[in-house]
Structure 1
Amino acid sequence: MVRTPADDNTCRAELHEAAQELEKFRQIVETAELGVVTINENHEVVYMNAAAEAMFGYGRQEIMGGDLSPLIPSEHRERHRNYVERYVRTRRGKLIGHTAELEAERRDGSRFPIHISFSTAEVAGGLLMTAILRDLSKEAGLEREVRQSQRLAILGEMVATVSHEIRSPLALIGGFARQLERDPDLGEKSLNKLNIITHEVERLEKILNELGDFSRPHKYNWMETDVSQVVEHVAELMEPEINRAGAQLVVSRNGSLPPVMADTDRLSQVLINLINNALQASGEHPKVEVSVEPESEGVLLEVRDQGPGLKPETIREIFTPFFTTKAGGTGLGLPVARRIVEEHGGRIELANRESGGAVARVRLPTAPAIQQKLPLDGV
């Protein structure tokens, strides 16, 4: 049979149409929010979409053509390889065509929960196995936030009731004690006892105030803010206290900062808390360094001390309400600071420095990035 130019044109048109159809499906898979990873019979990755790259922290050029193992927690790698080999031999498997919730491993070694479904296809005489992945860590985070909000609501009601019942008699005790302290006929032993009473009353009042600050919903006055101006304001505000302590506060700004959406008073509250903690950790004649610089997603604020550093168990518990390593501390300052930072759409962490001492890092997103994270008005 002789092919005509018309036949060639028809064939080219059909091939072009097929290529367009294939590209359409490729774009659908490539832009899907779910991760897609396909391996062959040899446990080698033959495809990985953009969502899977973001999920695991690897570029596809690092994974495709190589073994699947980097995406699997180390203790499960050999078992998974054996499962694939058995399926290739028998064409039978418990998970094919079903879904499961498993644990995956990112490039940085961190683990995260995933929802995964498996499917297979025979292509050009070979077997391809595809996993469709959904990262459950965000959903787990939302569940934790809901539970935390519920706990805070209950705690807020309890604190309001208890504070109301305690504040009045506490104020009377403190008031009467201060009056008696001014009695010229009071003996030294009695005066010392009254001093203890007034000191403990003040401590209890401080606990009530901080507990209320921790449990009450915060109202924010949002505005575009230059974080370096907040740092300068706090440094000026704390200068008398710094001088009294014989301390040194060194402030540095590195690079041009993007604006963040913030309540400057609340952000100042966080910074004051972190600087006070650094001063208390650094011993006599402390030096505290505060730096602010731009980073990929916004602004990084660091407060560094020259103290002995933090024990691992302290780092794990440091943001737990009422946990404190300071004599007379309430254990509420850092939980309040974390809440404020998170309600700014940011995050806060404490770690040890290689050169000694500890560092508090506060990361805040740029103004446009936080718009969807702002609490509702009045919250």
Structure 2
Amino acid sequence: MSWVIAFELMMLVTSGCALVVSGWLLLQARKRRSLQALAGFGLMMALWCGGHIAIQQGWHDAGVLLILANPLMPTFFLHFALRFVRPERPRVPAWLLWLSRHIVAIYATSVAVILLSWDGPGGTVVALGPFVDFFVFRGLGWFNIAYTVVVGILAHLVLVWGLSVHQGNLRRSIVAMFAAGAWGLLLATSFIFPSLGFDWYPYPMLLLPSYVVLLVYGVVRYQILEANDFAKRTLLWLVLMAVLLVLMALLGVLARHFGLVQLAAVPLWQLWICALLAVAVALLLRGPLTTLSGLLIYPGMRLDEALLERWLSRLKAEDSWQGLQARAAELISAQVRQPVHIQLQHEGTGAPLRCEGELSILCQHQARGWRFRLQGWEDLKPGLRLTGEVFGSLLSTSCGLLERSLQLAEAERRRLASEHLVELGSLSAVMAHELRNPLNVISMATADLPAERRSLIQTQLARADRQISDLLLYSGRLELHRQPVQLQALLDSLAPLFDWQQTRFESEIPPGLMLSADPHRLQQVFTNLIENALSFVRNQPGSLIRVEYDADGGYVRIHNNGPAIDASLHATLFHPFVSRRAGGSGLGLAIVRRIMDTHGGHVALRDDLGWPVTFELAFEPNPIQDLTS
């Protein structure tokens, strides 16, 4: 293939690339207005290359006119640079403001220079080396090229200013534009040499298609993420084409040595064209063949990007474990067209996951995050099994997202509760001081009253003082002083303090059971729970309170056989100022919950253990030791 054909082919490729890129930029310009001017630059580049093609085809007049229109190329680029780097800043250089305000005049000047060059004349066509026809500047054409260089310098000065004031991706884009500009200048320099009298073939111009692509990619790669994915695929195919071209050249050289005379006689450029056509056909058939191979290897699979996005968005929309489990079962069952059981085991749940005899996806929280496994899928088709694997992976991701979301919500709840308690604590301290002063005065004023009336008043004053103390305890700051506490000894010390009134108290705590806790706060927990139970069972036939330890779960439970708690109170039982007994402050159970939370544990009401009322205490993470074992 002659170098003339190579030059004409590269100009055609450059023109085509510039037109495609310009069209894409115009579509993107709806969101980024600066890309309109860059699209104009690409269009002028296409016309400029079209001028060289026209000259090679013998259309000299049209080709000269198109080449002499090149001042519009840097003008469009200057307009783009002004829009791209000019920020909304209070201090912008005067020259930059002048250029921005007079951009229409610069366009008009460029058009005037083009018209003057056309009338000049500004260029002619001569023979050059292998070229029968090649463009060279003459007369006013030199003014045309000088004006083009000046406008290009102005555009790069604008970029220099942008480089000095911007950071981040905008700065990176400007650096990429400078690199692409330097490459373009290197390639375009060879175009000028014949006009200076050098009879040199413009080899660098054969690489001109790369300039357009690199310039546009440098601009948009940090602004439009989709461009990077397209560039990744394009680079892969360009490398593949380059490898094929090398292989075809090597094949042409070696063919004669292996006796392949007919193959050796084929011109190298024809081998290259065949290789490029093979790559193009492979590119066109890649999608359909990938789909076909997937259907053959994984029959029954119906997965695509849209389906995966829909799955993930619907799973992420759930804000509870129950909702996520139900939604996951619904989605995968509809996809495989048979019921699929979903089971999630997050932190705090119990037994190992088992779903024998069912088509199941079991998702479990482990040390390295969420992991899934399929159960009962062994006899299904490979396509359905792959569907289950993909869905299980998405479900694991969604479980992790939900877990973090709930943790953040809980942290925010605790933060707000802490702020509220700080405010309430400050208010309570002031109110306690203001209330206890008049209570003390009332107490002293009862000294001369009859004994019966004085006792009645003192009882009510003591009750008011307890309520004030409870309020201070609930709203104040809790500081723990942990130490080993022998639970049975603590209960033995508390027993004489209660008025049992015919209520039997049983303790089934191992003598060596130790808890890591604040003994004073732990005493408040058991005092409040036992006192709360006594208020309902004392003086009742067969009344019983039992404290026991569940070694399997590590729980301490306080049972009583009093009346069951109404189901309507279960959700708010541990909230402040919720009481089910007359004369109660409504803070006893709320204080218990706050102390347990501060210890890192929790308290829960149970009515499924064979007792009407059971309060279950868990000290986490597992601070209980049985020294007898």
Please give the range of the TM-score, normalised by the shorter of the 2 chains.
Answer: 0.5 to 0.7
Whether the aligned pair in 2 keeps the contact of 1:305 and 1:357 (CA below 8 Å) is: yes
Instruction: Map residues 352-363 of structure 1 onto 2, 5 A cutoff.
Output: 352-353=607-608, 355-363=610-618
Identity of aligned residues (%): 21
Whether the aligned pair in 2 keeps the contact of 1:269 and 1:337 (CA below 8 Å) is: yes
Partner of 1:140: 409
Q: Tell me whether 1:303 sits opposite 2:303 in the alignment.
A: no
d(CA) in 2 for partners of 1:61, 1:316: 30
Shift of 1:328: 1.1
d(CA) in 2 for partners of 1:223, 1:58: 31
Partner of 1:238: 497
Structure 2: gaps spanning 5 or more residues: 1-323, 365-369, 371-381, 625-629
Describe the SS at the equivalent of 1:217: coil
- Residue 260 of structure 1 aligns with an amino acid whose one-letter code is L
Instruction: Map residues 92-107 of structure 1 onto 2, 5 A cutoff.
Output: none
The equivalent position to 2:585 in structure 1, one of 330, 334, 338, is 330
**Higher share in helix:** 2
Partner of 1:373: none
d(CA) in 1 for partners of 2:460, 2:613: 30
**Higher share in strand:** 1
Q: Tell me whether 1:251 sits opposite 2:251 in the alignment.
A: no
d(CA) in 2 for partners of 1:348, 1:182: 45
CA distance 1:292–1:260, shift in 2 (3 Å): same
Shift of 1:217: 0.7
d(CA) in 1 for partners of 2:493, 2:456: 35
Shift of 1:252: 0.6
Instruction: Map residues 117-266 of structure 1 onto 2, 5 A cutoff.
Output: 128-129=390-391, 130-131=393-394, 132-133=397-398, 134=400, 135=403, 136-177=405-446, 179-181=447-449, 192=453, 195-235=455-495, 237-238=496-497, 241-242=499-500, 245-253=501-509, 257=513, 259-266=514-521
d(CA) in 2 for partners of 1:341, 1:292: 17
Shift of 1:138: 2.2
Shift of 1:354: 5.7
CA distance 1:58–1:368, shift in 2 (3 Å): closer
Q: Which has the larger radius of gyration?
A: 2
Shift of 1:290: 1.1
User: Residue deviations 1:197-231, cap 9 Å, x none?
Assistant: 43333222221111001111122221123333323
Shift of 1:124: 7.8
CA distance 1:53–1:309, shift in 2 (3 Å): closer
Shift of 1:367: 6.0
Whether the aligned pair in 1 keeps the contact of 2:565 and 2:613 (CA below 8 Å) is: yes
Shift of 1:302: 1.1
- Residue 66 of structure 1 aligns with an amino acid whose one-letter code is L
d(CA) in 1 for partners of 2:581, 2:617: 22
d(CA) in 2 for partners of 1:325, 1:301: 23
More deviation in 144-153 or 126-135?
126-135
Higher relative CO (Cα under 8 Å, sequence separation at least 6) belongs to 1
d(CA) in 1 for partners of 2:550, 2:519: 17
d(CA) in 1 for partners of 2:581, 2:353: 49
d(CA) in 1 for partners of 2:511, 2:462: 43
CA distance 1:43–1:148, shift in 2 (3 Å): farther
Structure 1: gaps spanning 5 or more residues: 1-34, 72-105, 107-113, 115-122, 184-190, 370-379
Partner of 1:75: none
- Residue 497 of structure 2 aligns with an amino acid whose one-letter code is M
Partner of 1:278: 533
d(CA) in 2 for partners of 1:249, 1:276: 12
Whether the aligned pair in 2 keeps the contact of 1:223 and 1:263 (CA below 8 Å) is: yes
- Residue 556 of structure 2 aligns with an amino acid whose one-letter code is L
Q: Tell me whether 1:351 sits opposite 2:606 in the alignment.
A: yes
CA distance 1:300–1:344, shift in 2 (3 Å): same
Describe the SS at the equivalent of 2:484: strand
User: Residue deviations 1:323-377, cap 9 Å, x none?
Assistant: 11211111111111111111111110123256452111111135669xxxxxxxx
CA distance 1:322–1:333, shift in 2 (3 Å): same
Partner of 2:20: none
Q: Give the length in aligned residue pairs.
A: 266
Give the alignment's Cα RMSD to 1 decimal: 3.9
Describe the SS at the equivalent of 1:198: helix
Whether the aligned pair in 1 keeps the contact of 2:509 and 2:549 (CA below 8 Å) is: yes
TM-score normalised by length of structure 1: 0.59
